[in-house]
Structure 1
Amino acid sequence: MTEKLFYENAYLKECRSKIVDILEENGRIKVVLDKTIFYPEGGGQPSDTGTIDDLKVSYVYEDNGIIYHCMEDRPKNKNVICKVDFKKRFDYMQQHSGEHLLSGAIFTLFNGNNRGFHLGKDYVTIDIDIEHMDQRMVKRIENLVNEYICRNSTIETHMVSKSESKKFPLRKPVKNGLKNIRIVQVPNMDCCACCGIHVSMTGEIGILKILKVERYKKMTRIYFKCGSRALEDFQEEHRIIMDLSRDFSVDTCHIEDSINSERNEIKDLLVENKHMRQVLAREEAKNIMENNSSNIILKGYDRKKFDQIKLIASIISKEESKKCILILYSTLDNRVLFANNLNVEINCGKLFKDNIKDFDGKGGGNVHQAQGAFSVKDDVIKFSNFLYSSVVSTVS
C-alpha cells in the first residue's frame, strides 16, 4: 500500500520517498513508492504530473492500493525527491471543487443530479438529469455557486464506514461494496462521496462561470470554468470585444447593434451577388451555345470558380435546342465538370474512375455527370484535354 500524502496535505509540492519497486511494461517504466504526493487518476480528476529525481512523471494510477508512477526513464537512486506540477494540481483542485458546488447548487435549486463529470485540459463538463435548462435557470445556478464561493467556507473531508456515511446529507447514494468512504462536504452547500482532492476553502475557487449548456442524451451538459481558467477565458473574450469595439468604432455596448447591421447588409449583398452570378452565367451559357457549332464543348476558365462553372453547365443542360457534351474546367480552383446529355453511350463516372488517378486527381460521378479536383493547374488542363480526345474518338 502506498501512503497517500496528497490526502494529508493537498498543498504539498515536494517530498522525499523511497522506491519500493520498479516495473517495466511495453517500454514504459512504472515506479512504486512507499509514499507519494502524486494524485492518481480517479473520481473524474486527471492524475498529477511532475518529476522524480528530475525525471518526468507523465501519468499516475492506482491499482489495489498501489500507486504506479509512469515514467520514460528509470530513477537511479533508492531514495528520491518527488516534485508535483503544482500549477496543474491547483487548477484541477479549483475545477473539481467548483464542480462540487455547481452540482450542489443544481440539486438545491432544481433537484437535478450529476450523472457525469469530465475534467479535461481545455474544458470541464457535468451532465445533469434535467432534459432542458433555460437561461433563467442557468443564471440562478451560477449566481448561487458564486455566492457559495464568496462565503469562503471550509471544504471538509471525512473517511467513514458505509454505516457512518448514512449520517451525512449525501446528494447521491454511495456505491455498494465500499468499506471506507471518503466524503467531501461543504456544510449547507454540498455533500457527496469523492476520492478527488480539493481546495481547503471555497474562496480559493475564485469564480465559476458557466460557458454554455446543451442537450445531451435526454440530459443537460454544462460547460464551465473556475478560477484561473475562468480569468483567462474572460481576458481573451475581453480582448476580442475591445478589438471589435475598435474595428467598428463604437462603444462595447453598441457592438451587437453594429454586427447585426453588418449581417443584414451582407445578406442583402449575397442576394444581389447571387442574382448577378445568374445573369452572368446565362450570358456565358448563351455565348457558348451561339459560338460553338460542335456538340462537344471544351472550355477552361482562369477567373471563374467551380460553382460558377456548374451554374453555366446547368443552364446549358436545360436548353433543349443544344444537346451537347460539356467539359468545363477552372484553373482558379483546379476542378473540372464533365456532363453528357447527348444520345451517345459515354459513362461520365466510369471514365473518371478509370483514368483520373493517372492525372493525380480525385473525383467521380454517375452516368450523365462527373466532377474532379486536382492539386495543380497543369493536371486539370491535361485531364480536360484527355476527356475531350476520348469523347471525340467515341462520338466519331
Structure 2
Amino acid sequence: MTEKLFYNDPYLTQCEAEVKDIINKDGKILVVLDRTPFYPEGGGQPSDRGELNGIRVLHVYEEDNVIYHQVEKAVEDKIVLCKIDFHRRFDHMQQHSGEHLLSGAIFKLYNGNNKGFHLGEDYVTIDIDIDGMTEEMLRTAEDEVNSYIYKNREICTYVVSKEESKNFPMRKQINVDEDVRVVEAKDMDCCPCCGTHVLRTGEIGIIKIIKSERYKGMTRIYLNCGIRVLKDFQNKQNIISNLNRHLSSDENNLLERVENQSLEIEKLTKELKSLKKIIAESEAKNIIKAENSKVILRKYEDKSFEDIELIAAALSSKNFILILSSLKENKILFMNDSHSDISCGKLFKENIKVFNGKGGGNAKRAQGSFENKQDLINFSQFLNRSLTENN
C-alpha cells in the first residue's frame, strides 16, 4: 500500500521516497514507492507528471491500493527525490474544484445532477441530467458559481464512514460500504470525491462556461477555470485587437463592421458569379465558331475548375464531347454530351492512374486531378487520341 501524500498536502511539490519495486509490464517500466506526492489518474482527473531523480514520470495509476509510476527509464537508486509538475497539478486543482462548485450551483438552482465529469487538456465537461438547459439558465448558474469564488470560503476534505457520511448535505448518493472521502465547500457544494482540490474557493479565480450541447437526453457543459480562462481571454483579446486594426474599428462597433463587410462580400460574390457566367458563355460561343470537330480539347492556364464547369454548362446540349483542363488547379473535366456511346467514367477508371491522376465519374461525365501540370496535359491528349481512334 502506497502512502498518499497528495491528500495530506495537495500543495506538496517534492519529497523523498523509498523504491519498493520496479516492474516491467507490457514494455513499460513501473515504479512502486512507499509514499508518493503523485496523484494517480482517477475520478475524472488525469494523473500528475514529474520526475523521480530526474527521470520523467509519464503516467501514474492505482490498483489495489498500490500506486504505479510509469517512468521513461529504469530508476537505479533505492531512495528517490520525487518532484511533481505543480503547474499541471494546480491547473487540475482549479478545474476540479471549479467543477464541484458549478455542479453545486446547478443542483441548488435547478436540482440538476452531475452524471459525468471529464478533465481534459483544453476544457472540462460535465453532463447534467437536464435535457436542453437554456442560455439563461447557464448564465444564471455561471453568475452563481462565480459568487461562490468571490466569498473565498474554505474547501474541506474528510474521510468518514458510510454512516457518518449521512450527516453531510451531499448532492450524490454513496454506493460503497467502506470509508469515503468527502469534499465540502460549506453552503456551496458537498460530494464524495477522490481528487485534489484548492484550499479556498478564491484560488479558482474564475469559472467560464464555454458552450453547451444536448447529449443523451442531458446537457453537456464545457467550461474552464482559473489560469485557463485567463489564457483564453488573452487569446480572444489578441484576436479582437487584430480585427480592430484590420477593420479600423473598435470592439463596440466590430460586429456591425463585420456584418456590413459580409453583406458586401455576398453582393460582390453574386456579381462575380454573374460576370463569370457571361464570360463562360462568350468563351462557349467562340469555341463553337472555331470548332469543326465534335471533340473539344481546351486547356486554360488562368481558369479555375469552377470556370471550366461554367464553360461546359454553356456548351451543354450542343452535341459535343468536352475535354476541358484547368492548368491553374491541375484538374480535368471530361463530358460526353453527344450521341456517341463513349463512357467517360470507364475511360477514367481504366487509364487515369497511369498518368498519376485520380478521379472518376459516370458514362456522361468524369473529372480528375493530377500531381502536376504535365501529367494533366498528357492525359488530356490521351483522351483526345482515344476518341479520334474510336471515331
> For 1:314 and 1:178, how far apart are their aligned partners in 2?
75
> For 1:237 and 1:162, how far apart are their aligned partners in 2?
47
Matches within 5 A, 1:158-307: 158-174=158-174, 176-307=175-306
> For 2:26 and 2:336, how far apart are their aligned partners in 1?
59
Gaps of 5+ in 2: none
Following superposition, the deviation at residue 177 of structure 1 comes to: 3.7
The residue that corresponds to 2:378 in the other structure is 382
Matches within 5 A, 1:13-52: 13-52=13-52
> For 2:130 and 2:272, how far apart are their aligned partners in 1?
45
Misfit runs of 4+, over 3 Å = none
Q: Which moved more, 1:236-245 or 1:49-58?
A: 236-245
Counterpart secondary structure, 2:315: helix
CA deviation string 1:10-31 (max 9, x = no partner): 0000010001110012221000
Among 358, 361, 366, the alignment partner of 1:362 is 358
Following superposition, the deviation at residue 330 of structure 1 comes to: 0.4
CA deviation string 1:33-54 (max 9, x = no partner): 0000000000110000000000
- The aligned amino acid for 1:95 is Q
The question of 1:334 aligning with 2:333 is answered no
Counterpart secondary structure, 2:67: strand
> For 1:178 and 1:296, how far apart are their aligned partners in 2?
84
Counterpart secondary structure, 1:81: strand
- The aligned amino acid for 1:238 is Q
TM-score between the two structures when normalised by the length of structure 1: 0.96
CA deviation string 1:156-213 (max 9, x = no partner): 1111222222222111212x34412111111111111111110010000001111112
> For 1:198 and 1:263, how far apart are their aligned partners in 2?
46
Among 365, 388, 391, the alignment partner of 1:392 is 388
Counterpart secondary structure, 2:214: strand
Following superposition, the deviation at residue 134 of structure 1 comes to: 2.3
CA deviation string 1:193-245 (max 9, x = no partner): 11111001000000111111222222222111111110011111111111212
Following superposition, the deviation at residue 76 of structure 1 comes to: 0.7
> For 1:170 and 1:352, how far apart are their aligned partners in 2?
68
- The aligned amino acid for 1:51 is E
TM-score between the two structures when normalised by the length of structure 2: 0.98
Q: Which moved more, 1:105-114 or 1:161-170?
A: 161-170
Counterpart secondary structure, 1:47: coil
- The aligned amino acid for 1:97 is S
Q: Which moved more, 1:108-117 or 1:67-76?
A: 108-117
Following superposition, the deviation at residue 342 of structure 1 comes to: 2.1
Identity %: 53
The residue that corresponds to 2:67 in the other structure is 67
The question of 1:323 aligning with 2:323 is answered no
The question of 1:97 aligning with 2:97 is answered yes
Following superposition, the deviation at residue 135 of structure 1 comes to: 2.1
> For 1:106 and 1:71, how far apart are their aligned partners in 2?
40
> For 2:266 and 2:25, how far apart are their aligned partners in 1?
60
Counterpart secondary structure, 2:252: helix
Counterpart secondary structure, 1:116: strand
> For 2:258 and 2:242, how far apart are their aligned partners in 1?
13
> For 1:216 and 1:282, how far apart are their aligned partners in 2?
51
> For 2:84 and 2:47, how far apart are their aligned partners in 1?
10
CA deviation string 1:270-329 (max 9, x = no partner): 111111121111111222222211101110011110011112112212x3xx21111101
Following superposition, the deviation at residue 257 of structure 1 comes to: 1.1
Count of paired positions: 391
> For 1:159 and 1:91, how far apart are their aligned partners in 2?
24
> For 1:160 and 1:100, how far apart are their aligned partners in 2?
19
Following superposition, the deviation at residue 341 of structure 1 comes to: 2.2
Counterpart secondary structure, 2:136: helix
The residue that corresponds to 2:154 in the other structure is 154
Gaps of 5+ in 1: none
> For 2:131 and 2:46, how far apart are their aligned partners in 1?
28
> For 2:286 and 2:111, how far apart are their aligned partners in 1?
70
> For 1:290 and 1:169, how far apart are their aligned partners in 2?
88
> For 2:228 and 2:176, how far apart are their aligned partners in 1?
36
